Amino acid sequence: MRFLPSEEQSDFARTLRGLLAASDVPAAVRAWGAGDHAPGKALWARLAATGLFALAADEAHEGMGLMPLELATGFVELGRAGVPGPLVETAAAAVLLTRLGDEAPAKRFLPGLVAGETSATLTLPGAGPYALDADAATHLFTVSPAGELRLAPGAGPLRTSIDPARRLALPDGGGELLAAGPAVTAAARDAADWARLLTAAQCLGTGEALLARTVEYAKQRTQFGTAIGGFQAVKHRLADTLLGLEFARPLLWAAALTLAPGEIAAAKLTAGEAAYAAAMTALQLHGAVGYTEELDLSLWLRKARPLRDAWGSPSQCRAAVLQERLRAL
């Protein structure tokens, strides 16, 4: 047992972190929210060049084989930087196509997704009805409860989320039938697990960004003649925020290592709650300036709650955890 990231895994995270630090991600987020996808797509292409999407596709279609641990490590960085777009959904679509066992759709869509030339969004049975960023994604996939994988012909009106950079739409019914049957249902289940796992990773990164920004602020903002970070009530709240995030991290690793539904649910629950708590702490400790959209902090603040609920709300995750434990006992 060596329960620590390998050098390669850490290197990959560092590469992404460097790339994202050198890009103006907040500008891309704001543009994305305003309907201008160009800066976001340019960022997307740079991310794809690191091999990010190849980690969710098989070798036969230019992927690296499914590498959940590396992908989750990468998604922590995407969350930390606040990258906009259907990232989780594109990776989940790649998993779906990889696991389908049907050559035609895989051959048709995977190479573009792996290369970052295309992106995808999707809805899966048992998950929410909305497709994220249907206006920006190249492909919109739907899987019905009966196990039909379709390419949706379009989507209904765009709705903005609490996080303006997340745009939601109901897929239109019908569309080209790509595959059907139990293999689709099984592949969709895997894809949903991966979507939950990668959202957990994004949550952790989001929480880390919120904490880091808040710690910096608490060190430089002075009131009553002293940095507010010296007040014990402030310190203790930040200590609790760190505690929440640090205990979510190993759950995320274990979920990525095992891909067991109970582990994934535990990771999503814990990372989602930790990120949301980090957001509430960030808001409170920034005071009124934290309550404005001008401050870049708002880009993460508004993401924390939707991400906590996307691809498995806390209550759904708790039910999944307990179900699995009861089965094991």
Partner 1 sequence: MDLNHAADVEAFRAEARDWLAAHVPATPLPSLETREGFAAHREWEALLHSARWSVVSWPEEYGGRGVDIEHWLVFEEEYWASGAPGRVSQNGINLLAPTLFDHATDEQRARVLPSMASGEVIWAQAWSEPGSGSDLASLTSRAVRTEGGWLLSGQKTWSSRAAFADRAFGIFRTDPDAPKPHQGLTYLMFDLHAPGVTVRPIGRLDGKPAFAELFLDEVFVPDADVIGEPGQGWRIAMSTTGNERGLTLRAPGRFLAAADRLVELWQSHGDPADTALRDRVADAVVGARAYQLFTWANASRFAAGETIGAESSLNKVFWSQYDIALHESALDLLGPDAELADGEWAEPWIFSLAGPIYAGTNEIQRDIIAERLLGLPKGRR
Q: Is residue 322 at the binding interface for partner 1, with CB under 8 A as the rule?
A: yes
Distances (CA, A) of 167 to 50, 71, 306, 325: 26, 23, 11, 36
Q: Which residue, 60 or 322, has its beta carbon nearer to partner 1?
A: 322
Q: Which residue, 160 or 315, has its beta carbon nearer to partner 1?
A: 315
Q: Which residue, 70 or 133, has its beta carbon nearer to partner 1?
A: 70
DSSP string, 218-244: HHH-EETTEEGGGSHHHHHHHHHHHHH
- Pattern of binders to partner 1 over 183-222, x per CB under 8 A? ----------------------------x---x--xx---
**Pairing outcome for strands 120-123 and 148-151:** unpaired
| Touching partner 1, residues 223-252 (CB under 8 A) | 226-227, 229-232, 234-236, 238-240, 242-243, 246-251
Cα atoms found within 13 Å of the Cα of residue 69, Cβ hemisphere only: 15
Q: How far is the CB of 76 from partner 1 (least distance, A)?
A: 14
DSSP H or E segment with residue 149: strand 148-151
Instruction: State how far the Cα of 41 lies from the Cα of 38, in Å rounded to an integer.
Output: 5
Q: Is residue 65 at the binding interface for partner 1, with CB under 8 A as the rule?
A: no
| Touching partner 1, residues 151-180 (CB under 8 A) | none
Instruction: State how far the Cα of 105 lies from the Cα of 99, in Å rounded to an integer.
Output: 11
Instruction: State how far the Cα of 143 lies from the Cα of 156, in Å rounded to an integer.
Output: 17
Q: Which residue, 125 or 314, has its beta carbon nearer to partner 1?
A: 314
Residue at token pair 């490590």: 73
Q: Which residue, 150 or 268, has its beta carbon nearer to partner 1?
A: 268
Q: Which residue, 38 or 260, has its beta carbon nearer to partner 1?
A: 260
CA nearest to 46, candidates 14, 82, 19: 19
Q: Is residue 260 at the binding interface for partner 1, with CB under 8 A as the rule?
A: no
Q: How far is the CB of 10 from partner 1 (least distance, A)?
A: 10
**Pairing outcome for strands 120-123 and 139-143:** parallel
Q: How far is the CB of 310 from partner 1 (least distance, A)?
A: 19
Query: Phi, psi at residue 141, to the nearest 5°?
Result: -100, 145
Q: Which DSSP category does 220 fall into?
A: H
Residue 126 CB neighbour total at 10 angstroms: 11
Q: Is residue 319 at the binding interface for partner 1, with CB under 8 A as the rule?
A: yes
Is the distance from CB of 129 to CB of 170 less than 8 angstroms? yes
Q: Is residue 329 at the binding interface for partner 1, with CB under 8 A as the rule?
A: yes
Q: Which residue, 189 or 318, has its beta carbon nearer to partner 1?
A: 318
CA nearest to 52, candidates 94, 81, 22: 94
Among 14, 107, 159, 325, binds partner 1 (CB under 8 A): 325
Size of the site for partner 1 (CB under 8 A): 49
Q: Is residue 4 at the binding interface for partner 1, with CB under 8 A as the rule?
A: yes
Q: Which residues bind partner 1 (CB under 8 A)?
A: 1-6, 9, 69, 211, 215, 218-219, 226-227, 229-232, 234-236, 238-240, 242-243, 246-251, 253-254, 257-258, 263, 266, 269-270, 314-315, 318-319, 321-322, 325-326, 329
